[in-house]
A and B are shown apart, each in its own frame.
Chain A
């Protein structure tokens, strides 16, 4: 392990976080709120960062994949702690709550322990949204994009931080890939801001929600989440959440290369198909009690897109919906967005691979001598990738059920415990029961909050990155 290089990259990450902490400070200053928490946070992150960069200034070297996993895991830990500083410094939250809130931010989960967000200062709310925006595309990837001077093997970082089983760079240089990804992301965010502003939000709320919609985060500045805004605003949010849940490589090919063949990908078809079918089924199931067609459709689409892309905005309390609708939402929570998107969950492609694996196993049982390859889009999926996908889903189930058991032992009821574990692992936001869309995580015991915060980071980094660090093999020399 190249320890000093790891420190250098982490210091660079802190520098970027310190830079971004200036913006909510600016918002606070504009609205004549207290800027002290942000001064404090900039100092706490900036000083160690500059010190770290200074002491490692002569370091150059290669990063291997272990360093990559180490950097990403530690990086997210450092970011969560640094992100909690303003909350604590303002005196609004204790450390545990602040850490929970910060990790719900960076991991784009959007679960909150706040019972009343509307009384919070605007600068603080802006910082919540900004953490989600940074975490959505990955702040280490951002560090790579704006600080090429780091001069490190960024592929390792990209591998560990970008979700999905396969990571293609689509330009010869990784730095330009990172820049393109962040560029598209920024462009969509600005577009969404204009869209929200156009349908009646004020500019700050438009920007806050644009950042949390594109990153599929789900923090809102209102207690009623999107229920506080007009129908038009909800439709705009549906569009941008859906875009956020699509692989950004597809955005790149369509927008910049005019390559429309890439739309012919089964992952995209399954993703969009699931959204449309689930929304229609839910809308239909609610028509019995809810005679207004537009509302039923809008609420159906909004909730399905919000859950499937793992955003977690709410317009109505789905806990009151028919059981069928809730069951569908629970399933979508597990699946999540596409690989290479800002969404969470186990990703559509892994579910496709898992189902195809089942089909292949069945066919092998029927005709033992038959040679069958698992193919997606006419491309054979290599065996190691199939194994990684299946094992990841298995690990996800174990983690969610394990966390559920611990939460039950801590005194939660089973439905809420399951909902909380699943929603945090998948980075969705609202769960079921006492952590449903109408309530929040304030009542979860302190130990449970820490557990859920860890679960969020593990889910965001797709398990392996974090789990690896706790294996003996990781620390053994080669």
Chain B
């Protein structure tokens, strides 16, 4: 595929790297000479320095032959104009446009217009907000991947000392009458694998289970050996745009006790207008003694301040304080890598959340939703089985699924089941597919509808 990326910011560069690793022809355009030179040294893509809307640059980038275009400059307005120009020159290109401003994203009718029919808008900050809110809807989870229906969720948990799942192989436990949840993936000693009946889990393992969100109960937490802190209270550090959105999302889903910690007094007044029932504290969250005195026993702390260092530091302090769910927003890859070593299980990366989703949605087949999980080591897909694909009308044993790809769950009539070799997939079933990130291209073979033979 020919890919053109406008804007060499964080998202642009990450997209460029992933796509060029998947052997696509990537051209990246940015007006800053400095940014452009840096990329050229790091990744194998064509770079053009110049004004993206000028005819020369567009001609150089071969916009007419592009299959895929990303408009990810820093300005919403520029992105919209670039989308329109691209559409005028090449009607068939798929266009992904980053729009941050709510004044644009909320105009559903604008984006339904003809000239945008190949365009998908995305917003990393909104994606990060959604991820944070989703994570907090399942108490004590370390990662939550929602699927469009909302009823079915895939969530990761860290097994506690009192878990009923540890010590013996899962098959034995099942024989002994334990109700075993649908464990679709597990991470043990840093290795990701798909558990079988022989798997023996131990304390500290991270397990990913699929369940019906309406039926989350005490039993599940007892099995996992962790406490559910419920939706008692949450602290949000940083009252910027993301903090506000998280606050809105959380109050919409039942968190009644929200505390904001924000450094700027002006911003505090804005927050006080928007959240009359919330606690708005005008303080510096890096003042750790204050934080310690303040926090009490909240169920969760979300760190979404403007600076990642602050988020990191606050998250560390919160973990030491024993807050069960701590979610810092981090985009810097070195910080993300460090986070786990320090016990931060649920860092949210706006860039990671969107880039993963975009890359997933580029796959063939009828993919309803895709999301990276386990720090991007696995990719989860929710796909609708279509007649003519390799999966339809055959049992899984005969479906020739490549190694490394797992059909983790099948959703039929809104009921989740774990498939086995004898499961027969039909059209219109939804399948939850997990796949190692380096094998995602093989998903195409599995899901694509074969035209001939």
- Which A residues form the contact surface with B (CB < 8 A)? 367, 369-373, 375, 378, 380
Contact = CB atoms under 8 A, between A and B. Distances in A.
A371 B279 CA distance: 8
Contacts of B276: 373, 375, 378
Contacts of A371: 265, 268-269, 271-272, 280-282
A372 B279 CA distance: 8
Contacts of A373: 269, 272-273, 276
A231 B122 CA distance: 69
B444 to A, nearest CB: 51
5 contacts: A367-B279, A371-B271, A372-B272, A373-B272, A378-B276
A389 B388 CA distance: 74
Interface in B289-339: none
Contacts of A370: 279-282
Interface in B246-277: 265, 268-269, 271-273, 276
Given A367-B281, A372-B272, 4 more contacts: A370-B281, A371-B268, A373-B269, A380-B272
Contacts of A367: 279, 281
Contacts of B416: none
Contacts of B282: 369-371
Contacts of B283: 369
A383 to B, nearest CB: 10
Contacts of B268: 371
A374 to B, nearest CB: 9
Nearest to B267: A371
Contacts of B271: 371
A57 B307 CA distance: 68
A380 B282 CA distance: 18
Nearest to A373: B272
Contacts of A372: 272, 280
A380 to B, nearest CB: 5
Nearest to B279: A370
A372, A373, A375: most-surrounded residue (chain B CB, <10 A): A373
Nearest to B261: A369
Contacts of A380: 272-273
A364 B272 CA distance: 13
A214 B272 CA distance: 40
A372 B269 CA distance: 8
A378 B251 CA distance: 15
A361 to B, nearest CB: 15
A370 B271 CA distance: 11
Interface in B216-271: 265, 268-269, 271
Contacts of B269: 371, 373
A369 B273 contact: no
Nearest to B276: A375
Nearest to A379: B273
Contacts of A378: 276
A378 B275 CA distance: 9
A52 B366 CA distance: 85
B258 to A, nearest CB: 13
B237 to A, nearest CB: 14
A372 B265 CA distance: 11
Contacts of B280: 370-372
A380 B271 CA distance: 11
B276, B281, B282: most-surrounded residue (chain A CB, <10 A): B276
Contacts of B272: 371-373, 380
Contacts of A369: 281-283
A372 B268 CA distance: 9
Contacts of A375: 273, 276
A371 B269 CA distance: 7
A369 B265 CA distance: 10
A370 B277 CA distance: 12
Nearest to A378: B276
B450 to A, nearest CB: 57
Nearest to B272: A373
Nearest to A376: B276
A367 B272 CA distance: 15
Nearest to A363: B279
Contacts of B281: 367, 369-371
Contacts of B273: 373, 375, 380
A369 B260 CA distance: 11
A399 B282 CA distance: 40
A478 B269 CA distance: 32
Contacts of B265: 371
A372 B272 CA distance: 6
A370 B275 CA distance: 13
A215 B279 CA distance: 44
A402 B318 CA distance: 58
A323 B9 CA distance: 76
B42 to A, nearest CB: 45
A358 to B, nearest CB: 17
A380 B275 CA distance: 11
B248 to A, nearest CB: 14
B238 to A, nearest CB: 15
A269 B32 CA distance: 60
User: Top 3 nearest A-B pairs by Cβ distance?
Assistant: A371-B268, A373-B272, A371-B280
A371, A373, A375: most-surrounded residue (chain B CB, <10 A): A371
A375 B281 CA distance: 17
A454 B52 CA distance: 75
A397 to B, nearest CB: 29
B330 to A, nearest CB: 26
A362 to B, nearest CB: 14
A380 B281 CA distance: 17
Nearest to B271: A371
A369 B276 CA distance: 16
A373 B269 CA distance: 8
Nearest to A375: B276
Interface in B143-187: none
A315 B95 CA distance: 78
A10 to B, nearest CB: 43
A370 B282 CA distance: 6
